[in-house]
Chain A
Amino acid sequence: MSEQKPLVEMKSVKMSYRLSSGTSVSVLEDFNLTLHPGEIVALLGASGAGKSTTLKLMSGLLRSEAGEIYSNGQKLEGLNRELSIVFQESSLFPWLTVAENIEFGLFPQGYSLRTRRQRVSEAIDLVGLEGFEEAYPRELSGGMKQRVAIARALAMNPKVLGMDEPFSALDVLTADTLRGEVLEIWQRKTSKLKGILFITHDIVEAVSMANRIIVLGAPPKNVKADILNPLAFPRDENSWQFNQLVRKIHSVLSDSILGDDDNSNAQNQAALWVLPPVPIADVIGLTELLVDYKGQLDIFELPRLIEKDFSEALTAVKAAELIGFVDTPYQKVILTRLGQGIAHGDVNQRKEAINTQLKSLRIVKMVIELLQNQEEVALPYSKMIEWLQEKQPAVNAQSALDTLIDWGRYGGLFRYNSDEEMLSLEEDHPTVL
């Protein structure tokens, strides 16, 4: 197997995207990834880590700014005919029936009517959609729609199937069934299909399906980890090996998001600049949750308890850590004394505590300074964005400012009028209400 040419190969690829404000944010830098025949690769990572970008680059929907992409040893120019994508949200056309939707991708290839019909019926057979050929997407449940989307991609007879969070919009049971079905199709090996690459937020999903798991993160080093999964199918989610692998990926992911202790200095410097995009109410909710668990939680337990995916849960933890409500030694979340006070306090005590904590953050200090040294009482939102961009060009200024306003309003530091889009300092102390 390994003697064969790689299905897709990305060599020192560089990619960045432009924000609406005009600044560009780098997503991939000197990025290398190879997909070999026989592999099911899962791409994991926080949102914005470049997972979808990677898939789009491989399919030829996006062109890289630098570096090369090869498909079957040939340099990719234009679309990748060997790779077929199942998109995140059901992108079925509502005006076409199931059969017509599946047939959709075959037209540009110039196939004859007979070939098209045959391919459609094969694909329908493969995903078990018999009897639904004439149905319109709106008549189908979410799981059925996603089956159509998979059938549409398979009808192209691709060597590689790319899936962008294929099961994230489905309920737990349906997602589980579909995962099983995809693996079944894979193991049948009747088609040309040689490799699968899928994006997911769900670590358990990655471990249960993939035989190689790649954790992506922010540049400069995009690939945080590249882990082989040797477990044999069918995989038992309760087995010791399975859980060990899940733990391992958890810790890689949390390191890449929270930052481990070695390089915390540099990371914290950046953290002082960017508040994690988490509503302050979630941070307070986290302290209350921790009280219920005696002030201490395993970080991997958290996503299930707050019904969020792992990277979202970690972002909330990071936010709570930033204003000193929790500590995160060795994959644990521990409530600090301050955090306990928050959890038990009433609204005004909370506001006061958050007020003091916020004032110790560097970015908040700078904003206060900026607003105080201003002749006008208030500054427009757009000015604030400009200012933030000037100070820290690499961050998404809008999301940073929105979080800042959310936290600052709660802490009684800032006033923000969304009609006039003006930010100003709160004159009085926060305890009035």
Chain B
Amino acid sequence: MWKRINPKKTGFAAPDVLAFAFLVGGFAAMITVARYWSSPLQPPEPIDLSFSSLPYAVFLSLSRIVFAYIVCLFSSIAIGYWAAHSKLAEKIIVPLIDIGQSVPALGYLPGLVLFFLSIFPDSRIGLEIAAILTLYTGMAWNLMLSFYSSIKTIPREYLDTIKAYGYGRLGIFFRLELPYSMNDVIWNSMLSVAGGWFFLTVCESYTFGDKSFSLLGLGSYMSVAAEKGDVQAILAGGITMILILVLTDFLIWKPLLRWAERFRKVTTSEEDEDEPVLNFFAKSKRITNFIRKMRRRYAVNFYVNQSRRKKTKTKIQWVYLGYFVFTAFVLLSFFSVYVGFQMFLHISLDRWIELLIGAAFTLMRVFFVLILSGLIMVPLGLYLGTKPKLIKRLQPVIQVLAAFPAPMLFPPLMVLFLWFSIPIEIGSVIFMMTGAQWYLLFNVIAGAASVPEKYVDYARGIGMSNWEIVRRVFLPAAFPQIVTGFITAAGGAWNTSIVAEIVVFRKQEYIAKGLGSHIAIVANNGLYSELVAAIAVMVFVVVMLNRTLWAYFFDLAETKYRMDT
């Protein structure tokens, strides 16, 4: 718990100054963004690699991330809420999220860009919206799913209590569902934003057919730097990225997570540390007073029981709305299947075969990624998991490494590959690992840390060797987390394949045959029906793997290897 400091009645503190500075700055930022958005599309602005252009690029990239996150947060809460409260919606939304998750975010990009460019042909707004929505598709799924499952797991007593006191839907949402899921929402927001940076590098500059587009930003800065092989600029961009990650962690996530701890039902015995940023804001009497006042004043009207109002009428309307959306959804999916098939008919058999061969290659690469990451990260994770003190010291480093967008690592890695003349077919596996391995590491650490000490003591007691303890105690006991780690790592590998199998470095294209490069190439050449086909194949393979192979392991983890004794 951070120290609770009662704001003094009078006086003007540094935090107040800062708070006002924030307001003014925020306003200025909005105007800057608006100006950039409304600037004409043509001629495309050349990306300047000088260091002085970095702050503006970072600012624009940040604005995209923030926008995408805000849209993502609100829509996730709305959709998660709907799925949790309507059986009908649940049946549609949950599988949809599953599929949405397996579509690589970059698969959405071409369609979005074309659509919004046709609406805003003259200004940058169309491109910006397309980029932001692409980021959104990389961010939203886990947040939706976590909010949905949080609501579904609210204990019975809480629901009984709040209902017994006469809270209406709105009251239940604000005073139970939102606080109860706060912790999960913040954790997943952190993951989502990290995912956002990952895709940012790609959605700021791309080529479709004969047109190429670029938006000023850190991502496009990095891709141009890589294209030109400008080592200085690559380094500068990379360091800037690390700085951003460290700062957001320190200024936003750490204080938020600490604040959200109060929403946790069970408290850990971890000793409390001071949270400087949070304390700083707690000191600002204007902010705290303002929040308190608002809460006191508006809370009453807000939660006034709704069961007193006439309920039946609105309820019927909601049901109709549900049916309407359901019907619309069914019609839409029939329509898209029809359009899809129309498109597929135009694709020659040769191209289909090529597509499937590519899929097989990428599938193989994904498995190599899993094997290699497993060989490195499982032992490392098990080791770190048993050393809590070491983890605590290493955590910030690992976190920054994990959040560092993988595509930004490609240029420096590419230098190494060229040096040792490693072909891109193998190099791409390593690229994909950079986007997959961290999920595995985090989960293995968590798994190893959760193995009860009594098991290890017993194993030591009967004279097991260290290797045997790992094999017979840690691996089975951490099995559920290891499986989860592999599943998420596989998802990350598929997603990364699109950027990993085709890399432009020093004006030269390096292409590894596979589904990812296939998608990138058909998108660049404007072959839209093939793009749709390729994405459909990827979704099909990923969903199939999830439903068969991964479902099997997951089931095993849930039953045989569950620890509840």
Which residues of A are at the interface with B, using a C-beta cutoff of 8 A? 56, 59, 61, 78-79, 81, 84-85, 87-89, 91, 93-95, 104-105, 107-113, 134, 136, 138, 156, 418-419
Interface size on B, residues (CB 8 A): 32
Is B305 touching A94 in the complex (CB atoms < 8 A)? no
Nearest-CB distance from B57 to chain A (Å)? 40
Interface membership of B267, Cβ < 8 A: yes
Decide yes or no: A110 and B300 within 8 Å by CB, A93-B158, A95-B262 being known contacts: yes
Q: Which residues of A contact B350 (CB under 8 A)?
A: none
Q: Which residues of B contact A109 (CB under 8 A)?
A: 166, 305
CB pairs A–B below 8 angstroms (14 shown): A88-B157, A91-B157, A94-B263, A95-B179, A95-B262, A104-B165, A107-B299, A107-B303, A108-B167, A108-B304, A108-B305, A138-B267, A156-B165, A419-B559
Interface membership of B42, Cβ < 8 A: no
Is A91 touching B296 in the complex (CB atoms < 8 A)? no
- Please name 10 further chain A to chain B contacts, defined as beta carbons within 8 Å, in addition to the given A91-B155, A108-B303, sorted by A numbering: A61-B160, A79-B163, A85-B160, A87-B160, A91-B158, A105-B166, A107-B171, A107-B299, A112-B300, A113-B300
Decide yes or no: A95 and B263 within 8 Å by CB, A79-B164, A112-B300 being known contacts: yes
List the A residue with the shortest CB-CB distance to B171.
A108
Query: Once the chains are docked, how many angstroms separate the CA of A105 from the CA of B166?
Result: 8
Is A94 touching B303 in the complex (CB atoms < 8 A)? no
List the B residue with the shortest CB-CB distance to A89.
B157
Q: Which residues of B contact A136 (CB under 8 A)?
A: 262
Interface membership of B560, Cβ < 8 A: yes
Is B560 touching A419 in the complex (CB atoms < 8 A)? yes
Which of B171, B262, B560 has most A Cβ within 10 Å? B262
Interface membership of B175, Cβ < 8 A: yes
Is A111 touching B157 in the complex (CB atoms < 8 A)? no
Query: Once the chains are docked, how many angstroms separate the CA of A401 from the CA of B481?
Result: 32
Query: Once the chains are docked, how many angstroms separate the CA of A317 from the CA of B161?
Result: 36
Q: Which residues of B contact A59 (CB under 8 A)?
A: 164
Chain B, 233-275, contact with A by CB distance < 8 Å: what is the 0/1 string? 0000000000000000000000000000011110100000000
Q: Which residues of B contact A111 (CB under 8 A)?
A: 300
Query: Once the chains are docked, how many angstroms separate the CA of A117 from the CA of B264?
Result: 27
Q: Which residues of A contact B171 (CB under 8 A)?
A: 107-108
Interface membership of B322, Cβ < 8 A: no
Decide yes or no: A61 and B300 within 8 Å by CB, A89-B157, A93-B179, A138-B267 being known contacts: no
List the A residue with the shortest CB-CB distance to B176.
A93
Q: Is the interface of A mostly helix, strand, loop or mixed?
A: loop
Interface membership of B508, Cβ < 8 A: no
Q: Which residues of A contact B165 (CB under 8 A)?
A: 104-105, 107-108, 156
Q: Which residues of A contact B166 (CB under 8 A)?
A: 79, 81, 105, 108-109
Interface membership of B111, Cβ < 8 A: no
Query: Once the chains are docked, how many angstroms separate the CA of A138 from the CA of B171?
Result: 24
Chain B, 304-326, contact with A by CB distance < 8 Å: what is the 0/1 string? 11010000000000000000000
Query: Once the chains are docked, how many angstroms separate the CA of A81 from the CA of B164?
Result: 9
> 10 closest A-B pairs (Cβ-Cβ)?
A91-B157, A105-B165, A108-B305, A108-B166, A107-B303, A91-B161, A95-B263, A110-B304, A95-B179, A95-B262
Decide yes or no: A91 and B160 within 8 Å by CB, A79-B307, A107-B299, A113-B300 being known contacts: yes
Q: Which residues of B contact A418 (CB under 8 A)?
A: 559
Interface membership of B121, Cβ < 8 A: no
Q: Which residues of B contact A93 (CB under 8 A)?
A: 158, 175-176, 179
Interface membership of B168, Cβ < 8 A: yes
Nearest-CB distance from B492 to chain A (Å)? 31
Query: Once the chains are docked, how many angstroms separate the CA of A81 from the CA of B166?
Result: 9
Chain B, 149-174, contact with A by CB distance < 8 Å: what is the 0/1 string? 00000010110110111111001000
List the A residue with the shortest CB-CB distance to B163.
A61
Is B300 touching A94 in the complex (CB atoms < 8 A)? no
Q: Which residues of B contact A105 (CB under 8 A)?
A: 164-166
Is A94 touching B264 in the complex (CB atoms < 8 A)? yes
Nearest-CB distance from B212 to chain A (Å)? 50
Q: Which B178-198 residues have C-beta < 8 A from chain A? A: 179, 182
Query: Once the chains are docked, how many angstroms separate the CA of A59 from the CA of B182?
Result: 30
Query: Once the chains are docked, how many angstroms separate the CA of A138 from the CA of B263?
Result: 11
Query: Once the chains are docked, how many angstroms separate the CA of A92 from the CA of B175?
Result: 12
Nearest-CB distance from A139 to chain B (Å)? 9
Decide yes or no: A104 and B157 within 8 Å by CB, A79-B164, A109-B166 being known contacts: no
List the A residue with the shortest CB-CB distance to B302.
A107
Is A87 touching B179 in the complex (CB atoms < 8 A)? no
Q: Which residues of A contact B304 (CB under 8 A)?
A: 107-108, 110
Query: Once the chains are docked, how many angstroms separate the CA of A85 from the CA of B155?
Result: 17
Is B157 touching A87 in the complex (CB atoms < 8 A)? yes
Nearest-CB distance from B551 to chain A (Å)? 16
Which of A84, A95, A111 has most B Cβ within 10 Å? A95
Is A113 touching B164 in the complex (CB atoms < 8 A)? no
Query: Once the chains are docked, how many angstroms separate the CA of A81 from the CA of B168?
Result: 15
List the B residue with the shortest CB-CB distance to A80.
B164
Is A85 touching B164 in the complex (CB atoms < 8 A)? yes
Query: Once the chains are docked, how many angstroms separate the CA of A156 from the CA of B164?
Result: 11
Q: Which residues of B contact A107 (CB under 8 A)?
A: 165, 167, 171, 175, 299-300, 303-304
List the B residue with the shortest CB-CB distance to A421.
B559
Q: Which residues of A contact B267 (CB under 8 A)?
A: 138
Is B262 touching A94 in the complex (CB atoms < 8 A)? yes
Q: Which residues of B contact A113 (CB under 8 A)?
A: 296, 300
List the B residue with the shortest CB-CB distance to A106.
B165
Query: Once the chains are docked, how many angstroms separate the CA of A80 from the CA of B117?
Result: 58
User: Which listed residue (B161, B167, B168) contacts A87, Cβ 8 A?
Assistant: B161
Which of B165, B296, B559 has most A Cβ within 10 Å? B165
Q: Which residues of B contact A87 (CB under 8 A)?
A: 157, 160-161
Chain B, 20-43, contact with A by CB distance < 8 Å: what is the 0/1 string? 000000000000000000000000
Which of A81, A93, A112 has most B Cβ within 10 Å? A93
List the B residue with the shortest CB-CB distance to A104.
B165
Nearest-CB distance from B556 to chain A (Å)? 9
